[in-house]
């Protein structure tokens, strides 16, 4: 990959033969990375058209639903999410499954670490159930989704998130049926959480 006037030209082989002449320009890297891509795309009639897209790269991540079949309960989190606050979420608070960015770890290692930091539960294993692109039109992020059974004895610390990440996370343990009701009435609006709750329901985990 060579750089000319701040634009990166992709010289590697392209898996999709309908895409060529891919160029990337970094627009912002203040928090994560916002890139602008220019490329040629072959239409169904064989003609080529030039297209431009912007793509936000915040890194891949992992999320997990903790469940206890005997209690019929799940563990979720609640925290303030600024992007939702400026787009119609009145108080900006979101109920979500525990999640975090990989930051160089494997998906499983990441989610075991995040579970301990955010919820206080120390897991020894978790089952990956799906991989999803949450917003494929504008965000590169790939999210690995997990489930894991938990027991009260696995709670070894308070949770709430890492001290240096200003997360201020509230840990919520609730009946699974209540979580499904929150999803149905619109009080859970987070996509990864909806997918994991519905997975648990379909698979009869609780």
pLDDT in tens, 168-188: 899 999 999 999 999 999 999
SS (H, E, C) the chain: CEEECCEEECCCCCCCCCEEEEEEEEEECCCCEEEEEEEEEECCCCCEEEEEEEEEECCCEEEEEEEECCCCEEEEEEEECHHHHCCCCCCCEEEECEEEECCCCCHHHHHHHHHHHHHCECCCCCEEEEEEECCCCCECCEEEEEEEECCHHHECCCCCCCHHHCCCCEEEEEEHHHHHHHHHCCCCCCHHHHHHHHHHHHHCCC
Domain boundary (41, 57, 73) is at 57
Cα atoms in the 13 Å half-sphere on the side-chain side of 92: 9
pLDDT band at 120 (very low <50, low <70, confident <90, very high): very high
Residue from 153, 145, 148 nearest 192 by CA = 145
Cβ atoms of 75 and 98 within 8 Å: the answer is: yes
pLDDT band at 10 (very low <50, low <70, confident <90, very high): low
User: Which residues, 6 or more positions from 17, have their beta carbon under 8 angstroms from its beta carbon?
Assistant: 42
Percent of the chain with pLDDT over 70: 90
Average pLDDT over residues 9-16: 60
65 and 48 assigned to the same domain = no
Dihedral of CA atoms 176, 177, 182, 188 in degrees, nearest 10, equals 30
> Looking at the 3D structure of the chain, how many domains does it have?
2
21 and 68 assigned to the same domain = no
Is 162 a residue whose pLDDT tops 70?
A: no
Domain at 119, CATH number: 3.90.79.10
Is 119 a residue whose pLDDT tops 90?
A: yes
11-15, 34-38, 128-132 — which is least confidently predicted? 11-15
Residue corresponding to tokens 């975090």: 100
95 and 179 assigned to the same domain = yes
41 and 103 assigned to the same domain = no
Domain that holds residue 6: 2-57
97 and 178 assigned to the same domain = yes
66 and 12 assigned to the same domain = no
86 and 50 assigned to the same domain = no
Average pLDDT over residues 161-170: 73
Q: Over the chain, what is the mean pLDDT?
A: 92
74 and 112 assigned to the same domain = yes
pLDDT at residue number 6: 58
User: Which residues, 6 or more positions from 81, have their beta carbon under 8 angstroms from its beta carbon?
Assistant: 89, 92, 93, 94
- pTM score, whole prediction: 0.90
Average pLDDT over residues 112-129: 97
């Amino acid at each position: 990959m060579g750089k000319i006037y701040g634009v990166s030209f992709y010289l590697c082989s392209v898996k999709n033969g309908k895409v060529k002449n891919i160029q990337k320009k970094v627009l912002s890297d203040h928090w994560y990375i916002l890139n602008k891509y220019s490329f040629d795309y072959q239409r169904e009639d064989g003609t080529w058209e030039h297209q431009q897209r912007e793509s936000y790269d915040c890194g891949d991540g992992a999320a997990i639903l903790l469940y206890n079949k005997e209690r019929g309960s799940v563990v979720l989190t609640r925290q303030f999410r600024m992007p939702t606050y400026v787009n119609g979420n009145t108080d900006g608070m979101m109920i979500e499954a525990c999640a975090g960015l990989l930051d160089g770890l494997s998906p499983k290692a990441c989610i075991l670490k995040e579970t301990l930091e955010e919820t206080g539960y120390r897991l020894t294993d978790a089952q990956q159930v799906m991989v999803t692109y949450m917003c494929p039109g504008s965000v590169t992020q790939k999210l690995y989704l997990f489930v894991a059974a938990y027991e009260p004895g696995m709670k070894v610390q308070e949770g709430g998130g890492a001290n240096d990440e200003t997360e201020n996370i509230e840990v919520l343990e609730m009946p699974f049926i209540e979580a499904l009701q929150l999803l149905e009435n619109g009080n859970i609006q987070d996509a990864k959480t909806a997918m994991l709750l519905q997975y648990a329901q379909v698979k009869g985990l609780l």
